[in-house]
A and B are shown apart, each in its own frame.
Chain A
Amino acid sequence: DQQVKQNSPSLSVQEGRISILNCDYTNSMFDYFLWYKKYPAEGPTFLISISSIKDKNEDGRFTVFLNKSAKHLSLHIVPSQPGDSAVYFCAASGGGADGLTFGKGTHLIIQP
């Protein structure tokens, strides 16, 4: 049973527009959430995180929103740039488990 779900395998967005990537989780014990970005033939790299005591965290063009009641988080990228084309993974931890539980990823394609 998947505890972290990314229901969109791919997303295509025009350069300069907003990219919104979504993630849902089922484990109410999760209290820390992260987004990773992955290019082909490379390992995932950390992008941004949010603790469950917050509902928003912003870092430059990247903002993560957390809706605990809906067990949903989203990553907003504004404006989208060609270099943002990658696979984005949502991850969560908590409930005494230190390991990160990952979603299956969303392949973001930025169209020129």
Chain B
Amino acid sequence: DAGVIQSPRHEVTEMGQEVTLRCKPISGHNSLFWYRQTMMRGLELLIYFNNNVPIDDSGMPEDRFSAKMPNASFSTLKIQPSEPRDSAVYFCASRQGQGIRTEAFFGQGTRLTVV
């Protein structure tokens, strides 16, 4: 398996523009997580899905952020409009099993820069 695949790897956009980050989880995994990494706050959980259903989005910072998982093999994280403080590395992770104590596998991340 190719692992968790995220695209793009790097994104540079102007303030006010819409940004869409994409994630393909590992086949057969039914939990998907979106994390954001910054120097100040470390790795923060933004939202996670079980069986394509959003379970906890309490980490989503503002209404400008939204996430969808239309099917088991694809998820998006959208920021609209983007702001410079959204600059960070965004990671997607997937895990097999729901509520089971197993590890999550991470993608390589998308480095977002908003200028």
Tell me the A residues contacting B by CB distance below 8 Å.
31-32, 34, 36, 41-46, 49, 51, 89, 93, 97-105
Contact = CB atoms under 8 A, between A and B. Distances in A.
Nearest to B34: A99
Given A49-B103, A89-B43, A99-B33, A43 B50 contact: no
Contact of A49 (B4, B48, B91, B101): B101
A42 B4 CA distance: 12
Contacts of A44: 43, 91, 106
Contacts, number: 56
A46 B104 contact: yes
Given A34-B103, A93-B101, A98-B50, A41 B33 contact: no
B113 interface: no
B70 interface: no
Nearest to A32: B101
- What's the interface size class on B, roughly? 20 to 34
24 contacts: A34-B103, A41-B108, A42-B109, A43-B4, A43-B107, A43-B108, A43-B109, A45-B106, A49-B101, A51-B101, A97-B56, A98-B48, A98-B50, A98-B55, A98-B56, A98-B98, A99-B33, A99-B45, A99-B59, A100-B45, A102-B44, A103-B42, A104-B43, A105-B42
A46 B104 CA distance: 7
B65 interface: no
A89 B101 CA distance: 17
B74 interface: no
Contacts of B42: 89, 102-105
